[in-house]
Chains A and B, each alone.
Chain A
Amino acid sequence: MLRAERVVKSYRGPSGAVPVLAGVDLSVRAGELAVIQGASGSGKSTLLNVLGLLEDADAGDVWYGDVPVSGLSRSAQSRQRGRSVGFVFQSFLLVSSLTALDNVLLAGRYVGRRGHETRERARALLADLGVAHRWDHYPAQLSGGEQQRVAFCRAVLNDPPLLLADEPTGNLDDANGRVILAQLRARARHGAAVVIVTHRSEALEGADAAYHIEGGVLRQRASVPAKERGC
């Protein structure tokens, strides 16, 4: 489903370019859960941004299925993001002026899903995640765990084939963290390609592939320990 080839990315710093990704290759199939670990500043969030078309790479290609999405125009990339990608961010990134339900529905707005059916699906997702009773609350009125559950509902509203999660449990307590990770695993079981970047080892549980990124270089771990695979 997702393929990245020789992705290079650097940022401009006060004393010249700061390399972040140095020729990253990655392939995640539909139904596969891939976990990328690395220390802070290792480039894992940047990699996720490039994979999700949130920023351009300096070089290299990203493919969604057979589509070379990194070469598309800005508008075409936006449409691809809306249709194909669901994001779960560490800081939730809910729109503060919208209720929980409206935040979920926001994902449908830009891909033309606005009808009654979409609304019902959003309510069902909120119910699945245990926050249906909070549908009319604003983000400031929700706990961190509740916000992340709402954000997860937003990420999966359009049933995207690709889910990208950037430290999805970074701001959560253990119980909420487990819920979100379980939901991400369930999405993979239902056919989505799921990529989680995190520095927490519990994310490896149930993972099909594990990677480590350091100094902008991504390396696949030889195998995922059986315990961590949930066996």
Chain B
Amino acid sequence: MVSAVVRVRRYLFTVAGIAIGVAGLVALGAMSERIVRFIEGGDRFVLGQISVAGRGMGMGAGFTAGGLLPAARIRAIAEVPGVAVVQPQVMLPLDPTTSQFMTLTQELILGVDLSVPSPNRHYRALPVQAGRLLRDGDRRVAVVGAAFAASRNLRVGSRVTLAGADYEVVGVLDRMLTAPDRFVIVPIADAREQWVTKDPLLRTVVASGAMPLTAADLNTGAAVGWRDGEDPDAVARRIQARVADVNVQIPSELSHQLKVSTAFFSALMAGLAALGLVIGGLSLANTVAAAVFERIRDFGVKRALGATDLQLGGEILGEALVVTMAGGVAGVVLAVAVGFGIDVFVGERAQRLFLFSPRLVAGAITFSVLLGAVAALYATVRVVRLSPAEAIRRGS
């Protein structure tokens, strides 16, 4: 251990050079991981339930279409063979002026009917970082996503104003790096009130009595769960065929659409990650090889003192591995520190750019050590092929 520390001190500049290469690689990888997690999270969500919305013009928030899904249709959906559970929902943009934009960072109000269990097979309950989830009978309380909470400095017990009404924050979700990070989840009755408050057209319709609406009719959509053994796509198509005036999203088709719509980001990040591998890898390999060649005279001297090719090769390789490992770890630490600093800065705008997953960190260190070993091996072969006299001459 002491000897490893001494070696690292001896090769401080080499370690620093490797660390910078690895840091670049890890930072780009972490941005890629962040996007991948976002896409995977969305994919996992849409594959866990059938999302049904009242028919509209496709200008609603989240998966909704801007139309109503009245109680009668919710009952009709529940009667479709294969359907296990239907949870009425109200999904609204927090800021209606941006409701037309289906952005990746849209903040949403999600009103859920707590008398019905969550139908999503992949998210039976969202993970809570502090406080609790909503309970049946709650009113004027909210559970907020991690990014939403961070951007407004909210914690359990904080107060938040939604559509002019005061709410108590009873829970903060774990950071999931996907859509719920920007959700404000409230009881469905509260969400219905907000909807009426925010939507002048709906207010006019309700006030005019032109449509016989009750509170239970005010749903933008529903999350539908299927019975065990059922094919979710088949159940969704059955709903489509049997219930009029609904937009049914076929889980596999939605998943495909999601992947297509995020293909650009996936390709961009894959490209950046590949670029990081090439640039970081070349920087690392070059630094390790240069560090070996720089000491060519010393290796010539060691050969003169009786070191065999095997002894010298093992020595060079061992040192290169220690140095590369130290550089790799330092690079990861540097990338995490820089990423954390940037995330703190952008966190004020409810963003997070980096995800330093264990697989990324392990992969980066493994990659750097393997590449360092290959570079050191190449340099070692070049060095030991020289005669001791030639090595001393070249290094002098």
Contact = CB atoms under 8 A, between A and B. Distances in A.
Given A54-B304, A81-B304, A95 B309 contact: no
Interface of A: 49, 52-56, 74-75, 78-79, 81-83, 87, 89, 91, 93, 95-97, 106-107, 109-111, 154
Contact of A55 (B297, B306, B310, B388): B388
Nearest to A158: B306
B387 interface: yes
Nearest to A86: B305
B389 A49 contact: yes
A55 B389 contact: yes
Given A75-B310, A93-B297, A110-B311, A82 B389 contact: no
Interface of B: 10, 297-298, 301-311, 387-390, 392, 396
Give the interface SS of chain B, mostly helix, strand, loop or mixed: helix
Contact of A87 (B304, B307, B311): B304
Contacts of B305: 81-82, 87, 106-107, 109-110, 154
B5 to A, nearest CB: 14
Given A54-B387, A56-B387, A93 B392 contact: yes
A93 B301 contact: yes
5 contacts: A49-B389, A54-B388, A56-B387, A75-B309, A79-B306
- Most chain A beta carbons < 10 A, residue from B309, B389, B390: B389
Given A55-B388, A93-B392, A97-B10, A83 B308 contact: no
Contact of B308 (A54, A78, A97, A154): A78
Nearest to B392: A93
Contacts of B388: 53-55, 81
Contact of A95 (B298, B303, B389, B390): B298
- Most chain A beta carbons < 10 A, residue from B10, B303, B310, B390: B303
A111 B306 CA distance: 7
Nearest to B303: A78
Contacts of A81: 303-306, 388
